């Protein structure tokens, strides 16, 4: 099979490329390096089944070769980018998605959208089920990303209804692992970088807010299964094991054996209080659930940051 992966130099995109190449497929990777990193695609530079195209998917472009599946993972995803890269996020989630949907239609390819638990906003339903419509602030700090991804889902479903396009939507909950950026701003890179240098871990608010962390290769496996399924409607992909941010900080300090203390900082606006996926649909329809335990996955991520920061 031939795959197009956008956001191929990004954190999740690069793991998806790796998995597809390992499975023996042909992969065209696209990225404009807005938040992607060259080091994430360098290992496959000379791979006979990999081709890389540096391209901003919001600009007009044509893909010369036919593909069977388009995985759209192009979009900055760290809250620190929601302000400074607000325009790029709005564009990639609208113009970029529409461009790629048009390409999928022309190519008769299956279109897979990387969506997000941010569609649920600061949720009143816990754990979050796919049928919940969410509680999103349409004008808040996070809105370029949240509403961008909600627009993307609307565009994907419209293409399915109007043109019968084969579409899939995976709603990604907090995902972590090797190849996250140094200075990414998300909680695990921050805590790991701080703990490795014995600096205080910055907990925003009181640290009672919860997240559920999924190891990246588990998530990628979920997306592969989703692409092969017949499921049109969104499916949550994440780890149902919920933790509060204080527990995350403690575990990171413990695993690293760090002398770091905790520094409490203000909670960012609209920071969701709770986040936990209900993965019943993924379990029954895809036969999927994550297998990497949190301490195991955290350790692998710590090892990666240790190497990178050397």
Residues with active-site annotation: 145
Find the shortest distance in angstroms from Cβ 174 to ligand UDP. Answer: 5
Find the shortest distance in angstroms from Cβ 187 to ligand UDP. Answer: 4
CB nearer to ligand UDP: pick between 85 and 186? 186
Which residue sits closest to ligand UDP, CB atoms considered?
186
Site string for ligand UDP, 145-184 (x = CB under 6 A): -----------------------------x----------
Find the shortest distance in angstroms from Cβ 104 to ligand UDP. Answer: 28
CB nearer to ligand UDP: pick between 68 and 271? 271
Task: Sort strands 110-116 and 167-172 into parallel, antiparallel or unpaired.
Answer: parallel
Categorise residue 158: left if φ over 0, alpha if ψ from -120 to 50, beta otherwise.
Answer: alpha
**Residue choice 245, 252, 279, 302 for contact with ligand UDP (CB under 6 A):** 245
Give the distance, in angstroms, between the CA of residue 142 and the centroid of all CA atoms in the same chain.
15
User: What is the C-alpha to C-alpha distance for residues 209 and 198, in angstroms, rounded to an integer?
Assistant: 24
Find the shortest distance in angstroms from Cβ 169 to ligand UDP. Answer: 18
Span 84-123, contacts to ligand UDP by CB under 6 A? none
CB nearer to ligand UDP: pick between 36 and 121? 121
Residue showing tokens 């907090």: 174
Please identify, among the stretches 58-66, 127-135, 159-167, 263-271, the one whose residues bind ligand UDP according to the rule CB under 6 A.
263-271
Span 204-243, contacts to ligand UDP by CB under 6 A? 204, 209, 211
CB nearer to ligand UDP: pick between 66 and 185? 185
3-state secondary structure 19-77: HHHHCCCEEEEEECCCCCCHHHHHHHCCCCCEEEEECCCCCCCCCCCCCCEEEECCCCC
Find the shortest distance in angstroms from Cβ 82 to ligand UDP. Answer: 9
Cβ pair 171, 119 in contact under 8 A = yes
**Residue choice 37, 268, 299, 300 for contact with ligand UDP (CB under 6 A):** 268
Structure tokens, 301: 């991520």
How many Cβ atoms are within 10 Å of 92's Cβ, its own excluded?
26
**Dihedral sign (CA 293, 294, 296, 297):** positive
What share of residues in the chain are helix, strand, coil (percent, to 5)? Answer: 40, 20, 40
Span 180-209, contacts to ligand UDP by CB under 6 A? 186-187, 190, 202-204, 209
Find the shortest distance in angstroms from Cβ 268 to ligand UDP. Answer: 6
Helix (H) or strand (E) holding 161: helix 143-163
CB nearer to ligand UDP: pick between 15 and 159? 15
Task: Sort strands 2-6 and 69-72 into parallel, antiparallel or unpaired.
Answer: parallel
The CA distances from residue 307 to 32, 179, 195, 216, 304, in Å, are: 25, 11, 14, 18, 5
DSSP 47: -
CB nearer to ligand UDP: pick between 186 and 225? 186
**Residue choice 13, 79, 123, 290 for contact with ligand UDP (CB under 6 A):** 79
Count of residues binding ligand UDP (CB under 6 A)?
Answer: 14
What are the residues binding ligand UDP (CB under 6 A)?
79, 174, 186-187, 190, 202-204, 209, 211, 245, 267-268, 271
């Amino acid at each position: 099979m031939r795959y197009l992966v956008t956001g191929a130099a990004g954190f999740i995109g690069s793991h998806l490329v790796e998995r597809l190449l390992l499975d023996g497929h042909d992969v065209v990777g696209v990225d404009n390096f807005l938040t992607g990193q060259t080091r994430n695609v360098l290992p496959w530079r000379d791979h006979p089944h990999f081709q890389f195209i540096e391209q901003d998917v919001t600009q007009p472009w044509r893909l010369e070769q036919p593909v069977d599946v388009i995985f759209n993972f192009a979009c900055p995803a760290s809250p620190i980018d929601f302000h400074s890269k607000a325009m790029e996020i709005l564009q990639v989630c609208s113009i970029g998605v529409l461009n790629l949907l048009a390409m999928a239609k022309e190519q008769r390819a299956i279109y897979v959208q990387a969506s997000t638990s941010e569609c649920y906003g600061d949720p009143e339903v816990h754990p979050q089920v796919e049928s919940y419509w969410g509680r999103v602030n349409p004008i808040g700090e996070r809105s370029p990303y949240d509403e961008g991804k909600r627009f993307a889902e609307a565009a994907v479903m419209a293409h399915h209804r109007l043109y019968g396009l084969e579409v899939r939507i995976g709603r990604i909950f907090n995902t972590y692992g090797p190849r996250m950026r140094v200075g990414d701003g998300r909680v695990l890179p921050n805590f790991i970088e701080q703990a490795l240098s014995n600096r205080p871990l910055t907990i925003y608010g009181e640290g009672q807010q919860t997240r559920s962390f999924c190891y990246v290769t588990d998530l990628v496996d979920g997306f592969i299964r989703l692409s092969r399924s017949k499921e049109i409607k969104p499916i949550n992909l994440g780890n149902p094991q919920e933790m509060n941010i204080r527990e995350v900080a403690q575990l990171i300090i413990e695993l690293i054996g760090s002398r770091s203390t905790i520094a409490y900082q203000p909670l960012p606006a609209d920071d969701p209080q709770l986040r936990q996926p209900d993965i019943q649909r993924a379990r029954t329809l895809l036969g999927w659930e994550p297998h990497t335990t949190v301490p195991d996955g955290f350790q692998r991520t710590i090892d990666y940051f240790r190497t990178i920061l050397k």
